[in-house]
Structure 1
């Protein structure tokens, strides 16, 4: 029999940070196995919300005890440097052992271009993601990383 797990997606672009944490508690109380937060810089519509996903994940982790917590999804290729994404999730894991996970995706123009970056063509998005995942993976493995890629650089990042 397959191992079936039940997850819920909490919409950070629709609810206040306080409401998101309350929903995380309700998710755990309802018996779900995990939850994910959307990681959007600005709301999909106005009026809306746009709380910082990493901050809300930390609060949700402290308000719950067993439910898995992570992003659905973070784009580590535009407004975040991959080393910062790795740091955020290693911190989340340290505070919530065995519960944190990182969901990644390429993002979308609505949430990436307001930070001043032009929206790249698909091939560049793929190349950026490959570099980002290499950096994140190597940092997750504990490597002190000097990286000089086409899009990202690190100097003795840990």
Structure 2
């Protein structure tokens, strides 16, 4: 079985969502189904059908999260001694050598990736180019607009 790397924060967020789905959302939709059943004919009962559809989404998401957690390999980067090397979970500051623009990314698992928060998947082209490199190294990243050269300016372990 393939393990999926995940940060401690990513695992906590999934467990929190799972807990909310099981303890809050699932009972709420079951109650809505029961209430809609009391309204009579189920064939033309839009509330009933909407609640059943919502129940399907909730149960599907619960199964999805449970599967992800069962294959998760949680990596606590705060327990790894800091170094200059880019690894999973590290926050990396890179400088575009063409325009001197600087940006920082945290390399995370697929489920945690959020470009708006500068969290990129370890499988993304940028992360794959950066992992294993060190401060001062120049990496070439293929982008839709062509290849871009970045210099690794800083590496931080932990939040």
Q: Which bracket does the TM-score occupy, shorter chain normalised?
A: under 0.3
TM-score computed with the length of structure 2 as normaliser: 0.25
TM-score computed with the length of structure 1 as normaliser: 0.25
Answer 1 or 2: which has greater strand percent: 2
From the CA coordinates, give the structure whose radius of gyration is larger.
2
Q: Which has the higher contact order (CA 8 A, sep 6+)?
A: 2
